Structure 1
Amino acid sequence: MSSETRVTAGAPPTPSTSAGSSPDDASQRPRRARTSKPKVKTGCNNCKQRRIKCDEKRPSCANCIRSKKVCTGYPPPSRSARPFEEIRIAPKPIMAVSAPPPGREPVTLAPRRAAKIQRRNPPPLTSIPNIAILHRPSVDIPFSTQEGLYFQLFREQTASELSGYFDSTFWARSVLRECHSEASIRHAVVALGALYKTLEKSTESPTGSPSADRDPSDTAHRHWEIAVKQYSAACNELMASSADSSTNRTRLMASVLLACFDSFIGDHKQAIVQIQTGLGLLEQLRAERRRAFLPRPEEPVEEELIQMFTRLAIQAKSYDMAFHFPQPWVVRLTTTQPQDPGSPTSESSSPVSIHQDPIPDKFSSIKEARLTWDSLAERIFRFTETMFNQAQSGVLGILPASARQYGLRFKQQMEAWSTAFEHILASRTAPGVSNQEKACITVLKMYQVMSQLLFLMTFSDSEMQFDHFLPDFKMIIELAIEVVGDEERRAALKRCPDPQFCRHRGRHEPGVFGGHNFTARHIKASFSADLGIVPPLFVVATKCRDRDLRKQAIQLLQSSPRREGMWDSELTARIALWIAEIEEGIDAESEDNLNAAGMHDFHMDLNLDAPNSPPEDGSDQSRPTTSGSSFSRPNGSIDFGDNALGPGGNARWEAHRESNSAGMLFRQLKQMQQMQQQHQQQQQHRPPPPPPKVIPEEKRVMVRAVEFDLRERFAVVQLGSRGLPNGAPDLKTRVTKIMW
């Protein structure tokens, strides 16, 4: 190449460098075309003002350092484009190795060039697992290729995971059918599909090294950006829609989808706003039908949508009663006008379910039991909300004595539900019962036990009364171990069939109070829109003063990251840890003054005595059998041992445990059991240990308020006394900030 050619390819020649050329030749020389590059909207403020490319280094970019300027920082990116922000969605994801490091975001090509490259090198179908060759589920749904992938992921995976342990035609059929006609539902479904893909990519374990042929668009940040954009598009479609009858139904369905999205990313306040909006619209539609003087006004929407709002309302109320949110983050189920809770008119003031079918002697199916329980729980929440509004004392979480006669009615209904559910509970380990059905039965029983316990304690102003429910706490722990143990073994068989190549081998680490605990390392991080095991375990971890049971509850919350609606396992575990540290820090002198036998002298001064109290001989004849459950080890750590896997109990587990990674785990646990048995034999001739020491009432606290942000992973927790009126001085007040 000549020197003249090199000059032409570089900067335009000046008169001094082109002595042999004339001005006419320079004017006839073709201009160099400007390179087509995408516009960059990021960079520090100085570079943006100077209109130059910024390398976006922190704390000062290279241009500012070279020009000796003070780098004034970077403007905050918009919500729809935050490529350098850690994606903090449920539940506490770990950034994947394959994600591009800060400052090396993949270059966005020009639209024509990107389309040309995409036609030449189509993306591999294996980028999203279990995706069929035909991306578009229907020709009349206006999906792009990328949106079709997320829709397919939603249909094949996300819908079932949103349902949790329970089957739901709402997610599997109604939402998908609505995508054909409503743009807002389409955008919300694609947003949830992209959000699940974000969680999958950001929690990959074990992570592999990024390969050269990895699709640059298949990263957690890319999926996250698409999820947020689709969420915004769904909101915009709702704002632009007209207020006709069909749109009202769409708005209700969209409220459910958007509330799930907000709960997924940890924005519980926005989720509560979505639920409040949907409940208000539903009550408005019902009021219009009542004003029409119909002989029997029907529901304005189908029953399954009513069921979804009933469950969302129960979830939001339980969240508020646990953490005591201020206004306006409190979902209201009743009208503001006080009514007699025993009158028939009070039952029609709820914007959710109004059915009160009698409880049968035996439930015919799990679905019938769940619907009956939802209706009963919703009416109990409306009752407590009405009574708290009428109460003059303003005591946090304590109902007035005038409400006890109505409370007795609900206590009888809950016991009748438990009796009708007994045969279903006993059948959960029978051959032929699927894994999902077994989990449904177990979780539903956990909720019944927890709800009955908490409802009875709303009539007591002493934390000591929780000691009467020790059998209930124990049953919740045993049922939760069944659920987590079954999930861990199924995940181990699926993810690590060969134990020699397992990177998730369980190891024992120091427990929270000494000893060791077990972590379910094969269970992936999960999100579901329905109830699960987190709320019952939180109640045990904060209200049970048996150290072993409390420790097991905290370990189960920490065993696998999960978010169930707005309930986050990591947040609840850390709050329970702090409460345990405060309550169990008892000095030796006060312990010696305690009389353990005096615990039995306490009794509930109510007509609502504790249910299923153990007989005087110490046996527990009235409790449902949990023969398939796991049992805790004496030192308080969890042993998953020979848990029933169902279907068929342990039959399938016995056939596989010797030849897979779970078999190695089983043998390790078996060896520990044998060592424990030998230790127990050596201790037989020693005197029995002293009875468990009771935590005195002056040491016991309750949650008074929690302000938290799951995206930023912090919580400000306030503890105090039980039974004090709001605003009264409290000597037990403690406030701390928890970060993780």
Structure 2
Amino acid sequence: MVITPPTFDSERQRQIFSFFVTCTSSVTSVYYSSDFWSRLVLQLSLSEPAIKYALCSLGALHRMFRASQKANPDGTAIEFQNYSLSQYNLAVKCTQRLLAQSSSGDSDLVVKGLVACVLFVCYENLVGNYRAAQMHLQNGLKILPRAVDGHGKQSPTVPDNIVQVLNRLDLQAMSFADSEAPYPYHLGQSLSMPTSSPSFSYIRDATDHLIETFRWIFWLAASSEPNPIPQWQLDATSTVLQQWANEFDRLAPFLPTDDRNTIVLLKMYHTTMTIMIATGLYGQESLHDEYHGLYEHIVALGKALFDQQRAAGSMDGYIFCFETGIIFPLFFVAIKCRHLLIRRQAIALLKTADHQEGTWESVAAAKVAEFVMGVEEENLPQGAGSEQVLESARVHLVNISANTERRRIDLSCLLRTSEEDSWYFREGTVFY
């Protein structure tokens, strides 16, 4: 597709925009074959300055992250960081005008406002302003119901790819629980259980249904806390997952090779959710020992995905994207699977992945997982298996507070005493 570029303020801005078009928009679609990044945002940037500035801001951030990956980083990364901030500020200023105009209900202005909202979420996630990212995300999600007709269908004025990106960013926010900016479940809309009789014609149908189910699981856990999730809801969700697998198995043989990354990623997500529901999410941690086979499957899928990316030449040692990808399922394995080998394989993949996926950074996730592993295995006899990790030594919950600028994470691990009548925290700090 040929993009006629917009009018630029400077040669530097033109170069950054070109970098976004040729590099950022393609690599950020590595997991989802969405034309949101490859077509929609580029088209809107031609007529809307807010979108142009936001894309240049994200392109400069991408350049900053790449510059910081060098063996001997220089001042280039700081220059890109400062330029990214200046472009972001211009985007915000233009968007304020855009939002004032969109109050008239003009559908084109609403679409542009939603796209700007998505881009702002991505920017704030990458610079570690998670509270601001939550604010932009919730604002975008609140706009969507206004564009729903009386039959419950999305208005054609809001393209499906915008809704899909917002839902995936919502899942990312749920999965990444920074203690300084916890997910505002009390502000969000109540989610309902997805249909247990799905029908998929395309990979996007399967993706949308599974993302919806994943969001439902996080919402279900939060709405039930501190009480256990009712068994009937766990059983019903398990049925949804099984029906998804049946329908996906029917669809998969007919999917093109371009969807191979998405196929593997969806299988990783589905297996992760299967374990979460089977163990009751916040149940006895020793229940996870019954699912070593599924944990091993997630790690094998992760390795297969990396191999596919290398074979396709899409992995030059660093993957930068705005949406959730492979890091969360591998991190889940690393903190919940106590099998010594499988857990270490997951951590090793995170270390070598060198992925930046919105809020998630693979090296940081590996460091947190290593800390959790150290807490659980500190009194483990030499050569012991996972069954010898006592329930009282197992971490139930990990709270983190990340400082991306200092590349520091403060964390606290929630454990239960051997008498199971009280809880306590083990705290620490990791650098990455």
What does 1:495-514 align with in structure 2 at a 5 Å threshold?
A: none
Deviation at 1:459, TM superposition (A): 5.6
Deviation at 1:534, TM superposition (A): 0.7
Which amino acid in the other structure matches residue 414 of structure 2?
G
Deviation at 1:172, TM superposition (A): 1.2
Q: Which secondary structure does the structure 2 equivalent of 1:721 belong to?
A: strand
What does 1:370-409 align with in structure 2 at a 5 Å threshold?
A: 370-388=207-225, 394=226, 399-400=228-229, 403-409=230-236
- Bigger radius of gyration: 1
Is 1:415 the equivalent of 2:229? Answer: no
Q: Alpha carbons of 1:235 and 1:139: their partners in 2 closer, same or farther (altered >3 Å)? A: closer
Q: Alpha carbons of 1:301 and 1:536: their partners in 2 closer, same or farther (altered >3 Å)? A: same
Deviation at 1:296, TM superposition (A): 5.8
CA distance in 2, matches of 1:723, 1:268: 32
CA distance in 2, matches of 1:571, 1:268: 16
Q: What residue is the counterpart of 2:202 in the other structure?
A: 365
Which amino acid in the other structure matches residue 706 of structure 1?
I
Q: Deviations over 1:200-237 (max 9, x none)?
A: 333346x79x9xxxxxxx94333332211101111111
Is 1:155 the equivalent of 2:18? Answer: no
Deviation at 1:415, TM superposition (A): 0.8
Q: 2:345 aligns with which of 552, 555, 559?
A: 552
Deviation at 1:444, TM superposition (A): 1.1
Q: 2:93 aligns with which of 233, 236, 244?
A: 236
Q: TM-score, normalised by structure 1?
A: 0.52
Percent identical: 22
What does 1:702-713 align with in structure 2 at a 5 Å threshold?
A: 702-713=396-407
Q: What residue is the counterpart of 1:176 in the other structure?
A: 42
| Structure 1 vs Structure 2 CA RMSD | 3.3
Q: Which secondary structure does the structure 1 equivalent of 2:388 belong to?
A: coil
Answer whether contact 1:188 1:234 (CA < 8 A) is retained. yes
Deviation at 1:723, TM superposition (A): 10
CA distance in 1, matches of 2:206, 2:300: 21
Is 1:318 the equivalent of 2:157? Answer: no
Q: What residue is the counterpart of 2:395 in the other structure?
A: 701
Q: What residue is the counterpart of 1:90 in the other structure?
A: none
CA distance in 2, matches of 1:173, 1:198: 24
Deviation at 1:349, TM superposition (A): 4.3
CA distance in 1, matches of 2:152, 2:277: 33
Structure with bigger helix share is 2
Answer whether contact 2:347 2:366 (CA < 8 A) is retained. yes
Work out the number of aligned pairs and report it: 423
Q: Deviations over 1:337-373 (max 9, x none)?
A: xxxxxxxxxxx845xx99858313xx44322211221
Deviation at 1:486, TM superposition (A): 3.5
CA distance in 2, matches of 1:416, 1:279: 28
Structure 1 residue runs of 5 or longer lacking an equivalent are: 1-135, 211-217, 336-347, 389-393, 495-521, 592-688
Q: Alpha carbons of 1:381 and 1:729: their partners in 2 closer, same or farther (altered >3 Å)? A: closer
Deviation at 1:378, TM superposition (A): 3.0
Q: What residue is the counterpart of 1:329 in the other structure?
A: 182
CA distance in 1, matches of 2:25, 2:5: 21
Answer whether contact 1:334 1:349 (CA < 8 A) is retained. no
What does 1:169-248 align with in structure 2 at a 5 Å threshold?
A: 169-204=35-70, 219-241=76-98, 242=100, 243-246=103-106, 247-248=109-110
Q: Alpha carbons of 1:277 and 1:470: their partners in 2 closer, same or farther (altered >3 Å)? A: same
Q: 2:272 aligns with which of 450, 474, 477?
A: 450
CA distance in 2, matches of 1:366, 1:295: 25
Q: What residue is the counterpart of 1:469 in the other structure?
A: 291
CA distance in 2, matches of 1:305, 1:416: 26
Which amino acid in the other structure matches residue 175 of structure 1?
V
Deviation at 1:307, TM superposition (A): 1.1
Which amino acid in the other structure matches residue 580 of structure 1?
M
CA distance in 1, matches of 2:84, 2:11: 15
Q: Alpha carbons of 1:723 and 1:563: their partners in 2 closer, same or farther (altered >3 Å)? A: farther
CA distance in 1, matches of 2:397, 2:241: 26
Answer whether contact 1:463 1:722 (CA < 8 A) is retained. no
Answer whether contact 1:716 1:738 (CA < 8 A) is retained. yes
CA distance in 2, matches of 1:188, 1:437: 28
CA distance in 1, matches of 2:171, 2:396: 22
CA distance in 2, matches of 1:244, 1:224: 36
Q: What residue is the counterpart of 1:561 in the other structure?
A: 354
Q: 1:721 aligns with which of 392, 403, 415?
A: 415
Deviation at 1:526, TM superposition (A): 2.4
Q: Alpha carbons of 1:547 and 1:690: their partners in 2 closer, same or farther (altered >3 Å)? A: closer
